[in-house]
Amino acid sequence: MPYSPEDALTPMLAKAVATIPAADSVEGGLSYEPKWDGFRAIIYFDGETVEIGSRGSKMLTRYFPELVEAFVTLLPRPCVLDGEIVVRAGEPGHEKLDWETLSQRIHPAASRVAKLSVETPAMFVAFDLLAIDDDDYASRPFGERREALETLLAGTEHPVHLSQVTTDEATANRWLVEFEGAGLDGVVSKPLAAPYAPGKRVMLKTKHHRSADVVVIGYRMHTSGQGVGSLLLGLYTAEGELQGIGGASAFSNARRLELIDELAPYAERDADGEMVRGETDRSRFSGSKDVSFVRLRPELVVEVRYDQMEGSRFRHTVQFDRWRPDREARSCTFDQLDRPIAYDLSEVLV
């Protein structure tokens, strides 16, 4: 095999673009496919054993024993595949991807890993091919790699799937709208003539972008100890409860310092005039991380840009857009959020 787990391949990456590019905007044309919201994974199969590499240097093999077994059983030949590990949830006919359940699969206890592999089994969606036997496919054009991938996985059964593709721009734009209802993250555009480029942003990704007016309920200090690291955000429920929904960060050094002074008049203070601090819930990903924050009176409203929701929280850190002094904080409710139309995941999988 030309590639092995010891090589620790870095997957080819994608650059964000606002809209789906025209099919003829790149020499050789573009291929479009759904953007899966899971764990990026490189699968190394030597004909007997399997290793699962992550986007970074961490190996994921031990966390997905059910996939290891499936690869050994279902893959017809030694190969190296690029794709996404995902978990589905919901009743038949109403299934969608479940990021929260997937994230729980990364657990240090072997007993817990074994239990979850049965209760919330994962599946793998392949979308690129790097090698078959001793043949290196990474240097070949994507169009050729895709054709070989389809031949390799022809007839392969669940939980190994092949991502859909199209060269039709209109179909790709329809996918961008429809597939979000099944929990997908957007559309990826791949140059048909391009070789595989580990770590390079050769592909283009188009994600959903929306805006919302939210209440600033607190802030965390930057890890440097200087200025605001992130704003904590909330929305009001129909019952009038202010609920945390995520955060906004990525401020410049100068802006972080300015925010300290701007937010000081809104800080909650105790009888001694000291700022009141709170603490967000810890998770297994928090570790020893400082989760404390300065509480603010719920008076400031800010407009943010976000891509999607996971339950009642923003799926990713959102982008600060502008202050909204014209908005009353209590008018910022969950009702304003754009919810995608439900779409069954089984209609996306092939």
CA dihedral of 288, 294, 296, 301, whole degrees rounded to 10: -60
Amino acid at 126: A
Q: What b/e readout covers 196-226, taking b as 16+ CB neighbours within 10 angstroms?
A: bebeeebbbbbbbeeebbbbbbbbbbbeeee
Pairing of strands 123-132, 277-279: unpaired
Instruction: Let me know if 200 is a catalytic residue.
Output: no
**Of 15, 35, 190, 200, which one is the catalytic site residue?**
35
Q: CB of 186 within 8 A of CB of 205?
A: yes
Which residue carries 């893959």 as its tokens? 75
The pair of three-digit structure tokens given for residue 217, joined into one six-digit string? 């309920």
Phi, psi of 111 (to 5 degrees): -65, -40
DSSP state of 126: E
CB 84 within 8 A of CB 38: yes
Tell me the C-alpha distance between 169 and 90, whole Å: 30
Enzyme catalytic residues: 35
